[in-house]
Amino acid sequence: MAPKRVLTALHTVAFTAIAGATALLVSLAPAYADPTPAPGDIEAQIEQKWNALEPTIEQYNAVHGQLAANKAKSDNLQAQLQPLQLQVDIAMSKVGDIAAGVYKGGPGSTVNAVLASGSPTSLADQLTLLNMIARTQHDQISSVATVRDKFAGDKKSLDSLIAQQAKQDADLSAKKKQIEDQINQLQKLRQQAYGSSGAATGVLKPVNCPVEYIGGPAGIAAQKACSLIGKPYIWAAAGPNGYDCSGLTMVAWAAAGVRMDHLASSQRRQSKSISRAELRTGDLVFFGSDTHHEGIYVGGNWMVHAPHSGDYVRMVQLTGYYANNVSGYGRPA
């Protein structure tokens, strides 16, 4: 073999060997996946997105509650209108009977009455009496009719408001799918961060609940909230199978005999504003400048709340994110 051809062959073998070794090294090198977001980062994203979603839920709670209340008022007005209309109908019937009697008597009867009595005074008295009866009947009818018309007017205005609220209720309900789709995306993020082991839910009740016992209605409310730990978060729900944030606190205080609306902002208005230093078991803790979230304080810097969809009623400490986003405290009366 010529020297040149030998060198070419050697170069080819060397190149092939180097290429093979390089391929082997590449195949043995560890494969690096995209870094998984840290759990803390995921939770921060979830909280941020949920804070954008929860006001819509609270708005739905407000409109839905008002709609239900106004429908009940309308039904009540309708129930009051029926007997009023009946009274008007009966009174009109009586007036009709009187008028029919006079009509049947006719002018001839009037003359006969004068001749029989021999005195025109009797006729005058009869006409006066008839006029008084007619005026009394008219007054009765007018009085009842005025009340009836007022109720009818109130019902008409209320029905117009109900129609408007029903549209708002339907529009907000239509957003439910959109909200749930976004929540599902949040849960996928959680699965990426935590896997499918369920670690995302954490420990729901890491310490005794309530941490600090208190007597009276506040103690009852706190104990009720503690008893609901582990129930799933359900959008706009107030039990028994699941709760949202204001549904949980409403039911907790209802157990103590205190009625509040199913709306965080309303519950804030219905509670006495207190300072952080005054906070005690049973008090409410509000979040967001628009008061779109809340929990119930159970002592020891812990609260019970319904966080968001995909999570459960749980205890959390008022530290970090929660401590930084508190917008106020309230004590239901």
Do 47 and 81 fall within a single domain?
Answer: yes
User: Is 138 an annotated catalytic residue?
Assistant: no
Q: Note the pLDDT of residue 37.
A: 54
Q: Note the pLDDT of residue 73.
A: 83
Torsion over CA of 188, 191, 193 and 198, rounded to 10 degrees?
150
Q: Note the pLDDT of residue 192.
A: 66
Q: Check whether 19 has a pLDDT greater than 60.
A: no
44-56 confidence digits (pLDDT tens): 666 676 667 777 7
The number of distinct structural domains making up the chain is 2
Do 236 and 162 fall within a single domain?
Answer: no
Residue 29 forms part of a structural domain: no
Q: Are 98 and 137 in contact (CB under 8 A)?
A: yes
- Paired strand residues for 329: 274, 285
41-94 confidence digits (pLDDT tens): 665 666 676 667 777 777 877 888 888 888 888 888 778 777 777 776 776 666
Q: What is the mean pLDDT of residues 300-306?
A: 96
Q: Check whether 327 has a pLDDT greater than 90.
A: yes
Residue 261 forms part of a structural domain: yes
Instruction: For residue 179, give the CATH number of its domain.
Output: 1.10.287.1490
Q: Which of 166, 194, 222 is the last residue of a domain?
A: 194
Do 184 and 43 fall within a single domain?
Answer: yes
In this prediction, residue 11 has a pLDDT band, given cuts at 50, 70 and 90, of very low
d(CA 181, CA 333) in angstroms, rounded, equals 38
Q: What is the mean pLDDT of residues 168-195?
A: 70
**Candidate list 64, 262, 292, 293, residue with the active-site label:** 293
**Candidate list 209, 226, 245, 292, residue with the active-site label:** 245
Q: What is the mean pLDDT of residues 136-158?
A: 73
In this prediction, residue 25 has a pLDDT band, given cuts at 50, 70 and 90, of very low
Q: Which of 154, 171, 194 is the last residue of a domain?
A: 194
More confident residue, 227 or 112: 227
Q: Note the pLDDT of residue 243.
A: 97
> In this predicted structure, which of 68-77, 99-108, 160-169, 317-326 has the lowest mean pLDDT?
99-108
Which residue, chain included where needed, has tokens 């304080």? 297
Q: Note the pLDDT of residue 294.
A: 97
Q: What is the mean pLDDT of residues 147-164?
A: 80
92-137 confidence digits (pLDDT tens): 666 555 555 545 555 445 545 544 555 555 555 555 655 665 666 6
In this prediction, residue 215 has a pLDDT band, given cuts at 50, 70 and 90, of confident
Overall pTM surpassing 0.75 (yes/no): no
Strands (E), the chain: 271-274, 284-287, 293-299, 302-305, 314-317, 326-332
Q: What angle do CA 7, 19, 2 make, to 5 degrees?
A: 10
Residue 286 forms part of a structural domain: yes
Do 81 and 120 fall within a single domain?
Answer: yes
User: Is 305 an annotated catalytic residue?
Assistant: yes
Instruction: For residue 275, give the CATH number of its domain.
Output: 3.90.1720.10
Q: What is the mean pLDDT of residues 170-198?
A: 66
Do 250 and 148 fall within a single domain?
Answer: no
Do 211 and 160 fall within a single domain?
Answer: no
d(CA 304, CA 285) in angstroms, rounded, equals 10
Mean residue pLDDT of the chain comes to: 75
Do 187 and 101 fall within a single domain?
Answer: yes
Do 142 and 231 fall within a single domain?
Answer: no
Residue 74 forms part of a structural domain: yes
Residue 315 forms part of a structural domain: yes
**Candidate list 64, 292, 305, 308, residue with the active-site label:** 305
Strand order in the sheet with 302-305: 271-274, 326-332, 284-287, 293-299, 302-305, 314-317
In this prediction, residue 156 has a pLDDT band, given cuts at 50, 70 and 90, of confident
Residue 277 forms part of a structural domain: yes
Residue 30 forms part of a structural domain: no
Residue 32 forms part of a structural domain: no
247-281 confidence digits (pLDDT tens): 999 999 999 999 999 999 999 999 999 999 999 99
Structural domain of 130: 39-194
